[in-house]
Amino acid sequence: MDVKPPPDRLYGRVKGKKLRPRQEWLLAEFLPRLSWPDVPFAITPREIWLEVGFGGGEHAYELASRNPDVGYIAAEVFETGICSLLSRIAPDNVEHPEPLPNLRLFTDDARPLLRGMADGYLSKLFLMFPDPWPKARHAKRRFVHPELLAEAARVLRQGGEWRIASDDPTYQEWTDEVLGAQTAFAVTRATERPQGWPPTRYEAKAIAAGRQPVYWALTRL
């Protein structure tokens, strides 16, 4: 699979606070055992799902655990988030942790990953509370963007699903506009989290701060 970064690359791994020794160990020793695309799934997946920007990893971990026959690729660039998902899989108190057979981590920009995927490769795509890039001059960086929407439409199989959530009013308006101008997906929009969508940490913070999330479920036509 070709995952070379395009010229508009924004991210390598993004560092936060200095890591604790356990986090250093997770990145240096445990991550290479479940790093996509170097390590294939240890199952023959029924379908492949991709989550972009998994944050603390609660959504990815829950869906991958609940669906052991699905190959789940979880992408994140922020080191603290990557460590957070790794420590769900390898808790401190487990002496010989094992990767989940169906969960793999991609720790770089998810956009070139998506662009390198074959047509119809994915059955589901998750974009939960993407960075909003509220300034108009940064609109090109938004994951929901006509150009990337065409890529998502290419990579999702017919009947495949793309879930998007956002609490940011500018991003909500933008998403409604971009989705209103396309014909590749049937779209439903809700202000209550649909059944079966695991909650995320960012969502909890947004609701506690009084922001109203919007949830879009897109079906590839």
Ligand X SMILES: C[S@@+](CC[C@H](N)C(=O)[O-])C[C@H]1O[C@@H](n2cnc3c(N)ncnc32)[C@H](O)[C@@H]1O
Question: Which residues belong to the active site?
Answer: 131
Instruction: List Cβ neighbours of 67 (8 Å cut-off, separation of 6 or more).
Output: 49, 102
Which one of the spans 30-38, 183-191, 196-204, 207-215 is the region binding ligand X (CB under 6 A)? 196-204
| Closer residue to ligand X (CB): 153 or 164 | 164
Determine, following the binding rule CB under 6 A, whether residue 162 of this chain makes contact with ligand X.
no
Give the gyration radius of the chain's Cα atoms.
Answer: 17
| Closer residue to ligand X (CB): 45 or 76 | 76
Asked whether 78 and 112 are in contact (CB, 8 A), the reply is no
Among 50, 52, 63, 149, binds ligand X (CB under 6 A): 52
CB hemisphere CA count around 99 (13 angstroms): 22
Tokens of 154: 């290419």
Among 23, 102, 166, 200, binds ligand X (CB under 6 A): 200
Element containing residue 124 per DSSP (H, E): strand 122-128
| Closer residue to ligand X (CB): 128 or 153 | 128
Binding residues (CB under 6 A) for ligand X: these are 11, 52-56, 75-78, 81, 109-111, 128-131, 200-203
